[in-house]
Each structure stands twice: as C-alpha cells, then as structure tokens.
Amino acid sequence: MKNIYFVYRLALGFGLLLAFSQCDKTVDLPVFEPYAETNLDANAGNWKTYVLTNGAEIGVPAPEAAVSAAYQTELADLKNKMAAATDEQKDLARHWGANGVLRWHAIARELAAQYNVPPNYNADGTYPSPDPMNPTVYPRFPFATPPYASRAFALLAVAQYDALVTAWHHKFQHNRLAPYKNDSDIRPLIPENDLPSYPSEDAVVAAASRELLKFLFPGEAARMTELAEEHKNSRLWAGANVQSDLDAGEALGVAVAARIINYAKTDRMGMANNQAGFQGQKDDAIARGITKLWTSTDVPARPPMLPTYGNVKTWNLDQATLLANRPDAPPQPGTPAFETALDELRAIAKNRTREQFRIASYWADGVGSYTPPGHWNRKAAELIYEKQYNEMRTARVMALLNTGIQDAGIACWDVKYYYLLPRPTEADPAVTTCTGIPNFPAYTSGHSSFSAAAAEVLSYLFPDKAAELDAMALEAANSRIYGCIHYRFDSEVGLTHGKKIGSFAVLRGQSDGSQ
Amino acid sequence: MRQLYLMAAFFVAFSYVSVAQSPTDALMMPKGVLCVLGQYSGSSWDEYWEGANKRSNLNIGTFTNQSAMIMANYGITDKWNVLVGLPYIWTDSDSYFEGERNLQDISAWLKYQPLAISSDFGTFKVQATGGLSIPASNYVPDFLPFSIGIQSKTASLRGILNYTTKHGIYATAQVGHTWRSNTKLDRDSYLYNGQWYETDEVPVPNMVDATGRVGFINSKIQAELSVNYFTGTSGDDIRYNDMPFPDQQYESDFGRRVCQILHLERACGTGQFRSSVVGAQCWPEHDVLGRRVVPFPGGESQLSQKRAPVFF
C-alpha cells in the first residue's frame, strides 16, 4: 500500500514536471503552405507598370525548345538535384513555394523592425546621423522610421510588380511548360500549375527583391544574397524550374531592379532630412500667423524626423493634387476647440482604462517594430494567403497598397511641417502618455493617415473585408488618442485625408488592365 | 568599496527578496501558528545598464518602483508549512510616461521539512519548497520598465539547508529553479533575438537562483548577510537604445557578485501583523559574459534588465 502511494506521488511529480517542461519556450507562429493558384492571370503581361514603360520594354532571350538536347540535359540535372535534396532543402522548397513575393515582404518587415532604432544622443547633447556609406557602423544606416519603411515597402513592391509583369509578358510569349509537364518522371514537391515556366517568376522575384533590399539596407547585402540563392535553388529542389528558367529570371529581375533603383535615387528622399530647411518651415508658419510651434519632447531635443519628407515624389498623384488636398489648419492652442480636445486627453491620462491601454499598445508599432505600414502589409499578406493569389496578383496588391500608404505618409508629413502643431504633452505636461511621443508635429496623425489609406486600398481589393478593414483603421486612429499623443482632430482629419490620398491608388488599380 | 558607494548612489533599495519568512529561508512555523507580515520595498534609479554600457536616460529621468506585499505563513504541522504572498506594485518617473499600479502575481508555496537533527550545539535542517504563482490582475505586461510584471505563470522547486546554533547564529544555503510560462502581449508582433515574430506569444526564460546567508536570530531580532545569484536559462539580449521587452535574460556571476543584504527585524509571533524590512542592497557589476547588468528590484518574476524608451 505504501509502495502504491509512493508510485502515485512519483507519477504526480513527473506529471507536474512534464506539464511545465511542455511550456518549452517555443511559440506558435502562423504557417503558410504552398498552394495551387487557380487563376493564372494570363494577360498580366499587359498590365500597367509603374516605372517601366510596359511589360515588353525589357527583353528576355528565347529559351531552348523542349525537344532540344540542352533542355533535356537540364531536365536530367533537375532530377539529380531533386534526388540529392536534403530534408532541410525540401522544407525550404515548400517554404519558398508558399508565395515568394510575400516571403520577401516578410523579410522586409523584419529588416524594418531590426533597423527601427533611433540613434542615442552624444555626450554633448547632439545626435549622430546614420551614414549610408558606413551602414554597419553605429548608428547603423538606415534608421527605419515609418516614412523610410513605407518607402522601402513601396519600392520593393513596385520592383516585384514591374518585374513580374515583364516576366508574365515573356512567359506567355514563349510558353515553355513546367519541367513536370515536360517530363512525367518529375514529381514536384509543391502543387502543380499551368503557368509557363520561362522565365521563372521565383527567380525574378528573388533577384529584384535582393537588389532592392541591398539598396535600402546596405548592411544586409550578404544576407540578402544568401536568401536569394536559397529562393532560386528551392525551385530546383522542388522540381519546379530548370536552371535556364532561373537564369533568365535572375537577369530580368536585376534589370528591372536597376530601373527601380534609378527611380529611387531621384525620388527626393535624399533631401527629405533637410534640417536647414526646418527653420524656413517655422518662419513660413509664423508668417501665416501660427504662434505656438512644435518642439521636440525628446531630451535632449532631437532634430525633427525628416522635416522635408513631404516633398518626396508620390506614386499615384502629382504634387499639385497633393497640395490641393491639404487639410485646413487645426484648432490653435488657446482656442475653445483646442481646449475641448485637450480636455479629452487630460481625462484619459488621468483614468486610462486597460482596454484603452491595450489598443494603444496593439497599434503603437513604435521603436523596434515594423512600423504602421508594416502592420498593414502583414494584414494584406494574411488576406492574400486566404485568397491563394498567384505571385502576379499578390505583387499587384502589395504595389497598390504600399504606393498608397507611402503617398499618404508623404501627404501627412507635408501637413505636419506646414502647421507644426505642438503635441498634447507640450500643451499640458499633465497629459501623460502610455506610449512614446513621436519626434514630429502632431497634426495630422501619421498612424491615421497610413491606416486609412491602407484600409481604402485593401477594401477595394478585398471588398468582402471592407467593414473589418475600416474598423481596424478607426481603432488605429483611436489608439493615438488613447495613448494621449494625438488630439482627436489629428486622428479624425488624418483618417479623412489618408482615405482621400489612398483613393488615388484605387483609381490606378481600377485602370491597370487587371480587370 | 568605491563600487559599493557608486551603486548606493544609483539605488536606494529596500528589498523583500530574502527577508525572513519566505520560500527561500529556513524558518518554519510550528503547527497551528500563523504569521502575517506586511512589507514595503522601493527603489529608484536614474542610470542603468544596457549590456556593457552604463547610461542615463533623460527621457525617463528618475524612475521609481515601490511595492507593498502581504505575506502569510501557516504551520499545518511542524513539518509542513504553507505560505501565500501578494504584492501591490506601483511605478513612476519624472517623465511624460504614465506609471503603472496594480496587484502583481499571487504566490503560494508548500514548505516541507523532512529532516531536523539537533545536537548540543544546534540544529541542522533540510527543507524543500514547491510554489506556484499566477498574475493577480490584468496588469500591462509590455511597457517596461513601467509595467509591474510580465503576466507569466510560474512554478518553482527549491531545496534549503540550514544550520542554526543554540545561540541563534545560523547559515543557510538554498537553490531553486523557476519555470515560467510564455506570456501574451497586447501587441501581436515583436523582435526576439533579431528575428521578427508575428504572434502575441512570447517565451519567458526560466530562472535558476541560489542564496547563501549567515545571520543571527532570536525572539526579538534578526540580522542577516546574504549573497544572491540568479540567472535566466534562455532569453534575449538588449539592444542599444531600444525598447524594453519581457524576454530579456538576466545573468550574474556568483563569484564576482558584490552584494550584501542586511535585514534587521523582529521575529514573528503568532498572528502578528507588522512590518518591516530595513536593508540596503547593491547589485552585480558583470554578468558571466562580461556584460554589465542591473537587476530589477521587486520580485523574481520581474525583469532584471531595462532598456530605454526613446522614440522616433
């Protein structure tokens, strides 16, 4: 009897240990499996491009015929590579096989988060600037602020989109069948489809993405090269492309990326951090009768974030249209409307609910995060996986979304440095916050602008999700009020303005030939 | 000594980490005796370590963390004791950040004394405790250093050896392991070991801790000198000028640790409710990897490293 009791206690002890050893420091992450795309968008080679004139502008050499000795040798090589693939390589084949466009966007989000750290102050109270010539030396280049991240996502998406339109153009011109359609001995590790395989859409995406991310995050060149090689090779391990499919895709991806990088070099981002110009902006505001101007709440005062980012080139509207849509001036400190808005924040600061804190935290997307544009990119990726879009249609969603978001950010920055409205805590130090005070003027809210533009574009692309997306944008806008870093009118006008700017991306989507 | 002086300038700490009547000491209540203790602890700092970098952060200014805790110890039998503890913690700083205040984690322990050998000189005791803790409120887990905890459930096991002479001079050694459950954040993405995770679930490192104490105890007073060691068994490193995060590991080097805790208090009698702890605590200089570290005063389920909330 005593023995049984002992065994029972022992079992109980082990059970307890087992229960806790199972909370083993691993977390459940979303898993995305390869899928067979149903709609191949065979006419996408005619879709409207962003930077290229059209999908035919950049040529691709004609492939060897299926019956040629060269191609037959490639098939034999492919079978050897598949047979030699390790388990890890087979896993990678399935990883990259689940929408390479979105895999590269996930990498871009991670880079944005890794590089989203503001430089610390020097002993003399000044701040060091990241140096693009020495990207790995502290403070690393870039400091991936929300404007920087939104531009990076947009450039990446546009490069992928223009490259894929070109690839689609040539695919359906040459109509080379996939290896598994030419040789029934090849059983691919990922679902089959009827898409012509030359040039490889995966190699195009890998090469274009690698080049853009090397340009945007120069300290990561080696890692990007490694990932692109892995992506391309995954197509061999999967049995989905022969080497000449990949080589043609690589060359095409590089050629398109070069054009997008040239665009990026002249988009005025290089002049977006014109600190000398900030004084001119303040003088202009004073000349317009504005008396209370924003100042940095960082200690020591940090130079304002990208004061001239509002001049950066927009994608879906011109600068005259951007200025024509600039919102009216916000209520000025001291006016009844301003005091009413400030009173609301005083009340929240005094008695913030747990739910308000949760919302402020959920949408903060601050330092060390993928920023609000990253948050919306992730949402778009979830919707695309749900719909099982092919790479081409995926790239269209990401390009429309990210150009729309960047446009909204540019327009918002223009407004911020035009009106230079102080943050609530500057107006009343009793307004304590539960999130960091961003280092730029309050009006209008960047989160609200980014989010409204994103919801506008995604609602057009996924109409059945419109209500959910609008609710998300509203919550993102409210989160800044709950955090007490924005007046209600910052968020409300930000939402209206962002939605308006986002609608220009929708207009483009309605006439890009994809209907 | 210079180190001690410097540290004293940074931290004025009153700590309940190792006071009498805790799961880590060797005191047992006799059968039927209930001892209830109220404890206050507080700390304040204006400089902290980020890896090897000691810094101030003018955007936080001076940060304060205070805790009021109620701790009860009841003798079920002479060999079995049950302990319960619940802290209320509040944080603040002279920055624009809102501090937090709430009940933190409620803990319960069973303490078992299988062996007690007495001689003319004194008594040798062997004890073991097992404990559980769960968050006692829906406090914010992800706004360090202002948040008061990390919303992790824990289970712990520890062994204690003690020798007390009949004059009341004692030596105690204890070692424990704490398992900590993953926590869930308000946000659903975070950077961990350089990798970007798109989930709200965060792994929290388990902890190993050990304490050595020598002291004197009689019916009126207890004075004690102790050395503490604790380390996370996994976790992330802090990044320069980044935000705080609940997964950061704490490591300290037992050999290099310069840390004494001196407690002066009266021993506990039946059913008494009283306070308190008077002490001074200093902190380790380096971790095992040579990084400078700072512990987070106020409880083992709290984080020990802090990063600076400096925002874009």
Reduce the secondary structure of chain B to three states and give it as a string.
Answer: CHHHHHHHHHCCCECCCCCCCCCCCCCCCCCCCEEEEEEEEEEEECEEEECCEEEECCCCCCEEEEEEEEEEEEECCCCEEEEEEEEEEEEEECCCECCCEEECEEEEEEEEEEEEEECCCEEEEEEEEEEEEEECCCCCCCCCCCCCCCCCCEEEEEEEEEEEECCCEEEEEEEEEEEECCEECCCCCEEECCEEECCCEECCCCEEEEEEEEEEECCCCEEEEEEEEEEECCCECCCCCCCCCCCECCCCCHHHCCCCCCEEECCCCCCCEECCCCCCCCCCCECCCCCECCCCCCCCCCCCCCCCCCCC
Nearest residue to A414 (alpha-carbon basis) of A295, A320, A326: A326
Tell me, yes or no, whether A351 and A476 share the same domain: yes
Q: Are A375 and A472 in contact (CB under 8 A)?
A: no
Residue B130 inside a domain? The answer is yes
Residue A139 inside a domain? The answer is yes
Q: Are A228 and A209 in contact (CB under 8 A)?
A: yes
Tell me, yes or no, whether A295 and A423 share the same domain: yes
Q: Are B223 and B240 in contact (CB under 8 A)?
A: no
Tell me, yes or no, whether A198 and A89 share the same domain: yes
Yes or no, beta carbons of A117 and B241 under 8 Å apart: yes
Residue B44 inside a domain? The answer is yes
pLDDT score recorded for residue B259:
28
Q: d(Cα A13, Cα A15) in Å, to the nearest integer? A: 5
Tell me, yes or no, whether A160 and A281 share the same domain: no
Q: d(Cα A235, Cα A81) in Å, to the nearest integer? A: 10
Residue A209 inside a domain? The answer is yes
Q: d(Cα B104, Cα A372) in Å, to the nearest integer? A: 31
Residue contacts between A and B (CB atoms, under 8 Å): 135
Judging contacts by C-beta atoms under 8 Å, the chain B residues touching residue A367 are: 242-243, 309-312
Q: d(Cα A48, Cα A514) in Å, to the nearest integer? A: 8
Q: Looking at chain A, which residue has its C-alpha nearest residue B142?
A: A361
Nearest residue to A394 (alpha-carbon basis) of A51, A105, A49: A105
Q: d(Cα A103, Cα A422) in Å, to the nearest integer? A: 40
Which of B110, B196, B207, B236 should one mutate to test binding to chain A, selecting the residue with the greatest count of A CBs within 10 A? B196
Q: For A399, how many CA atoms within 13 A lie in the half-sphere containing its CB? A: 27
Residues 58-77 of chain B whose Cβ lies under 8 A from any Cβ of chain A:
58-59
Q: For A180, how many CA atoms within 13 A lie in the half-sphere containing its CB? A: 18
Residue A63 inside a domain? The answer is no
CA R_g for chain B: 19
Q: d(Cα A500, Cα B272) in Å, to the nearest integer? A: 68
Judging contacts by C-beta atoms under 8 Å, the chain B residues touching residue A27 are: 182, 197, 199, 201-203
A20: tokens are 């806790």
Q: Are A501 and A408 in contact (CB under 8 A)?
A: yes
Q: For A415, how many CA atoms within 13 A lie in the half-sphere containing its CB? A: 27
**Is the pLDDT score of B181 beyond 70?**
yes
A184: tokens are 């029934």
pLDDT score recorded for residue A9:
56
Yes or no, beta carbons of A433 and B98 under 8 Å apart: yes
Nearest residue to A416 (alpha-carbon basis) of A343, A298, A326: A326
State CA B36 to chain mean position distance.
19
Tell me, yes or no, whether A237 and A176 share the same domain: yes
Tell me, yes or no, whether A427 and A461 share the same domain: yes
Yes or no, beta carbons of A436 and B205 under 8 Å apart: no
Residue A35 inside a domain? The answer is no
The DSSP code for A196 is -
Q: Are A141 and B263 in contact (CB under 8 A)?
A: no
Question: Which residue has 């004791």 as its token pair?
Answer: B81
Residue B179 inside a domain? The answer is yes
Tell me, yes or no, whether A235 and A94 share the same domain: yes
A18: tokens are 């087992």
Q: d(Cα B229, Cα B207) in Å, to the nearest integer? A: 10
* Partner residue facing B189 (CB), from A16, A370, A437: A370
- Alpha carbon of B257 to those of A17, B4, B173, B282, B288: distances in Å? 31, 11, 16, 9, 10
Residue B306 inside a domain? The answer is no
pLDDT score recorded for residue A5:
57
Tell me, yes or no, whether A382 and A494 share the same domain: yes
Residues 256-295 of chain B whose Cβ lies under 8 A from any Cβ of chain A:
none
Domain count, chain B: 1
pLDDT score recorded for residue B278:
30
Q: Looking at chain B, which residue has its C-alpha nearest residue A140?
A: B240
Residue A363 inside a domain? The answer is yes
Domain boundary among A216, A232, A265: A265
Q: Is residue B26 within 8 angstroms of chain A, CB to CB? A: no
Question: Which residue has 């998300």 as its token pair?
Answer: A472
**Is the pLDDT score of B5 beyond 70?**
no
Yes or no, beta carbons of A30 and B179 under 8 Å apart: no
Of residues B21 and A195, more confidence is placed in A195
- Alpha carbon of A451 to those of A108, A309, A405: distances in Å? 19, 18, 8
Angle at A435 between CA A429 and CA A441, to 5 degrees: 65
pLDDT score recorded for residue A276:
94
**Is the pLDDT score of B121 beyond 50?**
yes
The DSSP code for A296 is -
pLDDT score recorded for residue B267:
37
CA R_g for chain A: 26
Yes or no, beta carbons of A361 and B182 under 8 Å apart: no
Tell me, yes or no, whether A301 and A231 share the same domain: no
Judging contacts by C-beta atoms under 8 Å, the chain A residues touching residue B309 are: 367, 436
Non-local (6+) Cβ contacts of A190 within 8 A are A34, A93, A94, A97, A238, A240
Yes or no, beta carbons of A432 and B96 under 8 Å apart: yes
State CA A169 to chain mean position distance.
26
Domain boundary among A222, A244, A265: A265
Judging contacts by C-beta atoms under 8 Å, the chain B residues touching residue A120 are: 55, 240-241, 308, 310
Yes or no, beta carbons of A300 and B205 under 8 Å apart: no
Tell me, yes or no, whether A217 and A317 share the same domain: no
Domain boundary among A248, A265, A282: A265
Q: d(Cα B53, Cα B35) in Å, to the nearest integer? A: 43
Residue B102 inside a domain? The answer is yes
User: Which ranges constitute the DSSP H helices of A34-127?
Assistant: 69-84, 87-97, 100-114
Residue B16 inside a domain? The answer is yes
The residues with which B286 forms a beta bridge, in sequence order, are B292
* Partner residue facing B196 (CB), from A26, A109, A352: A109
The DSSP code for A465 is G
Q: Are B100 and B72 in contact (CB under 8 A)?
A: no
Tell me, yes or no, whether A299 and A361 share the same domain: yes
Q: d(Cα B57, Cα B93) in Å, to the nearest integer? A: 11
Hey, what amino acid is at A44? A
Residue A1 inside a domain? The answer is no
Q: d(Cα A415, Cα B83) in Å, to the nearest integer? A: 60
Q: Is residue B52 within 8 angstroms of chain A, CB to CB? A: no
pLDDT tens-digit map of B245-299: 554 433 332 222 222 233 333 334 333 332 223 333 333 333 322 333 333 322 2
pLDDT score recorded for residue B194:
81
Yes or no, beta carbons of A21 and B179 under 8 Å apart: yes
Residue B155 inside a domain? The answer is yes
- Give the helix/strand (H/E) hosting A474: helix A466-482
- Give the helix/strand (H/E) hosting A237: helix A221-238
**CATH number of the structural domain spanning residue A99:** 1.10.606.20
Tell me, yes or no, whether A398 and A503 share the same domain: yes
**Is the pLDDT score of B68 beyond 70?**
yes
Yes or no, beta carbons of B96 and A425 under 8 Å apart: yes
**What is the residue range of A394's domain?**
274-510
A484: tokens are 């007490």
Yes or no, beta carbons of B201 and A21 under 8 Å apart: no
- Alpha carbon of B280 to those of A332, B8, B16, B210, B262: distances in Å? 51, 8, 11, 19, 6
Nearest residue to A98 (alpha-carbon basis) of A206, A196, A190: A190
pLDDT tens-digit map of B196-247: 999 999 888 788 888 888 888 877 677 777 777 767 776 554 455 555 455 4
Q: d(Cα A366, Cα A116) in Å, to the nearest integer? A: 8
Q: Is residue B82 within 8 angstroms of chain A, CB to CB? A: no
Nearest residue to A132 (alpha-carbon basis) of A46, A6, A218, A19: A218
The DSSP code for A484 is T
Reduce the secondary structure of A337-390 to three states and give it as a string.
Answer: HHHHHHHHHHHHHHCCCHHHHHHHHHCCCCCCCCHHHHHHHHHHHHHHHHHCCC
pLDDT score recorded for residue A252:
98
pLDDT score recorded for residue A500:
98
Q: Are B196 and A113 in contact (CB under 8 A)?
A: yes
Residue A13 inside a domain? The answer is no
Looking at chain A, how many residues does it have? 515
Judging contacts by C-beta atoms under 8 Å, the chain A residues touching residue B147 are: none
pLDDT score recorded for residue A424:
98
**What is the residue range of B267's domain?**
2-274
Reported ipTM: the value is: 0.91
Q: Are A400 and A509 in contact (CB under 8 A)?
A: yes
Nearest residue to B15 (alpha-carbon basis) of B235, B245, B230, B246: B230
Domain count, chain A: 2
Residue B203 inside a domain? The answer is yes
Task: Tell me the nearest-neighbour CA distance from A235 into chain B, angstroms.
Answer: 25
Report DSSP letters for A414-460, one per residue: HHHHHH-PPPHHHH-TT--BSS---SS--SSPHHHHHHHHHHHHHHH
Tens of pLDDT, residue by residue, chain A (515 residues) = 455 555 455 445 545 554 554 456 778 888 999 999 889 999 999 999 999 999 999 999 999 999 999 999 999 999 999 999 999 999 999 999 999 999 999 999 999 999 999 998 888 999 999 999 999 999 999 999 999 999 999 999 999 999 999 999 999 999 999 999 999 999 999 999 999 999 999 999 999 999 999 999 999 999 999 999 999 999 999 999 999 999 999 999 999 999 999 999 999 999 999 999 999 999 999 999 999 999 999 989 999 999 999 999 999 999 999 999 999 999 999 999 999 999 999 999 999 999 999 999 999 999 999 999 999 999 999 999 999 999 999 999 999 999 999 999 999 999 999 999 999 999 999 999 999 999 999 999 999 999 999 999 999 999 999 999 999 999 999 999 999 999 999 999 999 999 999 999 999 999 999 98
**CATH number of the structural domain spanning residue B188:** 2.40.128
